[in-house]
Amino acid sequence: MPTPQDQNVARLEVRRRQPGTLAVELAGDWLARAGVPGLEAIERELAIGQAAAVLELEGAGLGRWDSGLVLFTLRCREFCRERQIEFRPGSLPEG
């Protein structure tokens, strides 16, 4: 059974929303000192599924965040640029 602390851990889930679009749903506290997920789940989904033209981040489930979230976002943007995938920051908080 998950503890309240487990619910605050930074996590992501990759889903195919429409043909060609990957939605990356972010949840929990994205704090650099606590550690944040890498891009492995995104890489796995691209390797096993159809090609994606768009990667969109969704932050509706975000808790607290700091430079850990900013760094993850920059890594996603670079990842997409290298693969010629359109990057959409979607519903991430301003800042």
**pLDDT at res. 1:** 45
Q: What is the pLDDT of residues 21-61, one digit of tens each?
A: 999 999 999 999 999 999 999 999 999 988 899 999 999 99
Name every residue whose Cβ is closer than 8 Å to that of residue 64 and which is 6 or more positions away in sequence: 8, 29, 30, 31
Record the pTM.
0.88
Higher pLDDT, 80 or 49: 80
pLDDT tops 80 at residue 3: no
pLDDT tops 70 at residue 11: yes
